[in-house]
Amino acid sequence: MKKLALLLPLLPLAACATSPEAKVYNSLVKVGLSPPMASCMAERMVDRLSLTQLRRLSSLSSIKERDLGEMTIDEFIYRTRALQDSEILSVVTSSGLRCAIVAG
């Protein structure tokens, strides 16, 4: 019981310790990518993009206006072009292709 009392104040800190990969994964799922595709892509993107680029990419999650089910990687790449960042587009395209091959 004493251990629990000692750990209780640390719970709010644990919530703040979300990894960049988890944040990118959540954004990709929110956009409409399937969870396996989002997981694979998030892992690659956090290694290849800067924090600023990841934030810009996560802004795409706000453009999903209605739930149309899962988004294809083609649709996601199309939306990524709107960011007008060739490095982001390159990483998203290569990650999507690699993850689609691995998953298939």
Asked if residue 92 lies in contact with residue 40, where contact means CB atoms within 8 angstroms, the answer is no
Question: pLDDT for 16-64, tens place per residue?
Answer: 557 889 999 998 998 889 999 999 999 999 999 999 999 898 888 776 5
As a whole number, mean pLDDT of residues 70-83 equals: 89
Nearest to 22 by CA among 6, 49, 46: 46
Mean pLDDT, all residues of the chain: 81
Domains of the chain by residue range: 21-61+69-103
pTM of the predicted model, to two decimals? 0.75
Give the separation between CA 34 and CA 72, rounded to whole angstroms: 9
- Using the predicted structure, report yes or no on whether residue 12 has a pLDDT greater than 70: no
Give the separation between CA 86 and CA 39, rounded to whole angstroms: 22
What pLDDT does residue 57 have? 87
CA angle 36, 15, 40 (to 5 degrees): 15
More confident residue, 99 or 1: 99
